[in-house]
Structure 1
Amino acid sequence: MIMSIALIFDMDGLLIDSEPLYQRTEKKILADYGITDFSILDEAFGMKNEEAFEMYVERLALPADPLELLDRCREQMLVLFKEELQLMPQAEACLETFHRKGYPMALASGSMRALLDTAVGRFGLEKYFSVTVSGDDVEHGKPDPEIFLLAAKKLGVKPSDCLVFEDAIHGVTAAKAAGMYCVAVPNPSVPRERFREADWIFDHLPAHPPDSLVPQEGEG
């Protein structure tokens, strides 16, 4: 059975527990340039990797090429993804339930393609997603809606027929800018009220099909 609603999932912090690995890696890179205040990392939460390092170099006046820092990050993160990466609680149960129900599903992550593919391969997630879109596939990262619009196009569905699952504010903003429904599963460190733009807010990924989440035609 093919459902009328397509599901688009973010990856980092939602399906995989990668944020602590990113924090560790980026803090180490910034510390090499004498940076001790890492609060800027919070601003990059949910951003495309390339755009995050461009922001670090500009805002922190680092004497470095953003692309060189990005390469360092990629190399270190690939090792951590292969050795330490874990799934988020309920991630696989959620994906398996939706997959069995026949929902078309896409993965849309601002991460580099190499990291996305490593994570998908490590946990065998390829069976759930007919489409994957990485930060390398788009010019503009979240909160720009480009990545979600591309995912919808590849799925062959209208943006208004998509439900996005996100854990980052930038991602929620991107989903709504794309004209899609959005479920937020906020990082516990971020106040829930900052996710008010989302249509629904859950503490954890739902373990039941989302057909009841999307308003039916004619409902207000």
Structure 2
Amino acid sequence: MPTRALVFDFDGTLADTESAVLQAWQEVFREHGTELPLAAWYAVIGTQHTTPAMFALLAEHAPDIDVEALRPVTKARVHALLETLGPREGVLGYLETARERGIKLAVASSSSGGWVRPHLERLGIDGYFDAVLTGDRHKAKPDPDLYLAALDALETAAEAAIAFEDTPHGVTSAKAAGLTCVAVPNAITESLDFGQADIVLPSFTAKPLEALLSR
């Protein structure tokens, strides 16, 4: 069956936002006299639980922290780190090729619409997508709900769609919804286990979309 739709995760896949978020959290932990264990980060990456998990872990090491006071500080630091961030290398080529071929495009992200949509606009890629599905309206990954919603929005069967992910949680979500899944890990996630993915690419530049579709 020919490929009729591509569904992309956002954080870490279309843009390497995860590196900035991780850096911000590492700085917060160090400011409170401790290090953020990467194992704790990997346990929640790609889900909706990152922020509450990080605050809960920080509170174990610094019981007197004012979580509500820290929220805007952490958020501001993340946005400062993201100001000059662009799409991951090769992403624009994939989006352009899909547009030329008439392939539908969607974003399926566990993050909120208030996070994803402004970043898509800032990156200049929002116009490529026919649908943007987010975790404030659907169950977060690894639940398949986001991908099922994307298929419904694009009116496409799972067998005719390919998902692109950068975390094992995301791969689990896509596979549970029946999609072929291409893992494209970033510097933060490249050491994780992507055994569930159908294909693992070191980057979007490693294989053009035309070559991927011809498999």
In which range does the TM-score fall when normalised by the shorter chain?
A: 0.7 to 0.9
Matched residue pairs, number? 206
Partner residue of 2:11? 12
What is the alpha-carbon root mean square deviation over aligned residues?
2.6
State the Cα distance separating 1:110 from its structure 2 match.
2.0
Counterparts in 2 of 1:89-100, with a 5 A limit? 89-100=89-100
CA–CA separation in structure 1 for the residues paired with 2:50 and 2:67: 9
Q: Alignment partner of 1:137: what SS?
A: coil
CA distance in 2 between partners of 1:70 and 1:178 (Å):
34
Q: Name 2:132's counterpart in structure 1.
A: 132
Q: Which residue of 1 aligns with 2:184?
A: 185
Equivalent position SS for 2:142: coil
Give me the TM-score of the superposition, normalised by structure 1: 0.80
CA contact (8 A) 1:74 1:115 kept: no
Q: Please give the alpha-carbon distance, in whole angstroms, between the structure 2 residues aligned to 1:18 and 1:94.
A: 19
Listed one character per residue, the Cα deviations across residues 105-129 of structure 1 (whole Å, up to 9, x for unaligned) are: 1011222322212221112212210
1:41-190 matches, within 5 Å, as 41-48=41-48, 51-59=49-57, 61-62=59-60, 72-81=73-82, 83-138=83-138, 140-188=139-187, 190=190
Question: What SS is found at the alignment partner of 1:144?
Answer: coil
Partner Cα separation in structure 1 for residue 69 and residue 140 of structure 2: 19
| Aligned-partner SS, 2:209 | coil
Q: CA deviation at 1:4?
A: 4.8
Structure 1 spans left out of the alignment, 5+ residues: 214-220
Stretch of structure 1 that moved more, 61-70 or 183-192 = 61-70
One-letter amino acid of the structure 1 residue matched with residue 4 of structure 2 = I
Select which of 205, 212, 215 maps to 2:214.
212
Change in Cα spacing, 1:91 to 1:4, as seen in structure 2 (3 Å) is closer
| Percent of residue pairs identical | 30
Distance 1:203 1:29 in 2: 30
Q: Distance in 2 between the 1:120 and 1:100 partners?
A: 20
Residue of structure 2 in register with 1:218 after alignment: none
* Alpha-carbon shift at residue 20 of structure 1 (Å): 1.8
Q: Deviations over 1:23-66 (max 9, x none)?
A: 12222334455432332222222122xx1123234455455797
The Cα of 1:101 is off from its aligned counterpart by 0.9
Match of 2:197 in 1: 198
1:166 Cα deviation after fit: 0.8
TM-score norm. by structure 2 comes to 0.82
Output one character per residue of 1:160-184: Cα deviation in whole Å (capped at 9) or x when no partner.
3321011111111111111111011
Q: Which runs of 5+ in 2 are unaligned?
A: none
Matched-pair contact (CA < 8 Å) for 1:78–1:118: no
The question of whether the paired residues in 2 share the 8 Å contact of 1:57 and 1:65 is answered with no
Contact 2:165 2:185 in 1 (8 A): yes
Q: Structure 1 residue 187: deviation in Å? A: 2.8
